[in-house]
Structure 1
Amino acid sequence: MFDTIVLPTDGSDHAEVAAETGIELATAHDAAVHVVSVADTGLLGGLRLPGEAASAEDAMRGRAQESVDAVVEAAEAAGLEPTGAVLDGPPAEAILEYARDVDADLIVMGTRGRGGVHRMAMGSVTDHVVRFGDVPVFVANSESSVE
């Protein structure tokens, strides 16, 4: 049913739950797994961290790479051969573009479960991916299970 699954991660607990769900689905369907994290560096404009030689962009990319590496390691431990990538740009747009590029059958991602005014004010990467993507999206939370 699924040949290619994209697992976006930001290193949060919600993304970890989604990654576990995505890994279970990939194992059950013998699917290829693509783990991605997005460094939205466009908002930083060359900002440097106080007392640091590295730019904030480098720090952001480093955190994104750590998030990808953790999920890749978990997928490998489950017997999969995942691909990992750090993407640049607005997160939802980068995830959707990547999913199109790899001809994904499914995107599995987490949500913080925010709603109401907070969601309207802050926006939601998951919400944007669900609304504007042309790939099915499995939205996982701490209650999700593929059993």
Structure 2
Amino acid sequence: MNNGQTMLIAFDGSEEAARALEYAAKLLRPEVVEILTAWEPAALQAARAVSRTGMHQSTVGAESNAIEDDPAYAEAKELCRQGVAVAEGLGLAGRAHLVEVSTNIAAAIVESAHELDVDVIVTGTRGLTGLRAWWNSSTAEHIVRNSGVPVFVVPPEEEEEYTD
């Protein structure tokens, strides 16, 4: 993959995302890495949380309409910077991208991959199983099913079983 090709990594600051970036650097050896952090405005996060409680959403409002004043934007910007630093620490040329989520994170990642015209999408996964997996939608699964681009999925690190 070292022919000027690019990969997009969905970077949320988690151990899984850093691990995915590390494996992709070793195995895919891309020339350029698009570090993508998807974020949702704090007011929308609060409105979604309030709607789950049954309270009227009109009680939740944004105090400021400026993106720069949104704490979720500031956090996403810092996470994206961390992703670029991780990429550069692995010897890769990382470029930062923030995308505001309008529907869901997976859809934002897929849309960004098409806009950036990447050759592969890299994502980590939490590796949920059983009942937890049934109740949680898989971002990685959505990306694989809907991207139309090769997807490199890195599972979480297995915990070692200890015997006495």
Q: TM-score range by the shorter chain?
A: 0.7 to 0.9
User: Secondary structure, in 3 states, of the residue corresponding to 2:123?
Assistant: strand
1:77 paired with 2:79, answer no
In structure 2, what residue type is equivalent to 1:71? G
CA contact 1:75–1:81 (8 Å) conserved in 2: yes
Name the residue aligned to 1:88.
100
Q: Which has more radius of gyration?
A: 2
- Give TM-score scaled by structure 1 length: 0.78
Shift of 1:142: 4.2
Superposed CA RMSD in Å reads 2.7
Q: SS of 2:126's equivalent?
A: coil
Per the normalisation by structure 2, the TM-score is 0.71
Q: Which residue of 2 aligns with 1:109?
A: 123
Deviation of residue 47 (structure 1)? 5.3
List aligned pairs for 1:31-42, cutoff 5 A: 31-41=31-41, 42=44
After superposition, give the CA deviation of every residue in 1:89-119 in whole Å (9 maximum; x if it has no partner). 1210110011111111111110010123322
Deviates more, 1:109-118 or 1:71-80: 71-80
Cα distance change, pair 143–122 in 1 and its aligned pair in 2 (3 A): closer
- Indicate the percent of aligned positions where both proteins have the same amino acid: 31
**Contact residue 38 and residue 94 of structure 1 kept, 8 A:** yes
Counterpart of 2:19, as a letter, is: V
Aligned equivalents of 1:117, 1:40: Cα separation in 2: 27
User: Unaligned stretches of 5+ in structure 2?
Assistant: 48-59, 159-164
Equivalences, count: 137
Inter-CA distance 59–130: structure 2 relative to 1 (3 Å threshold): same
- In 2: Cα distance, 1:113 partner to 1:142 partner: 6
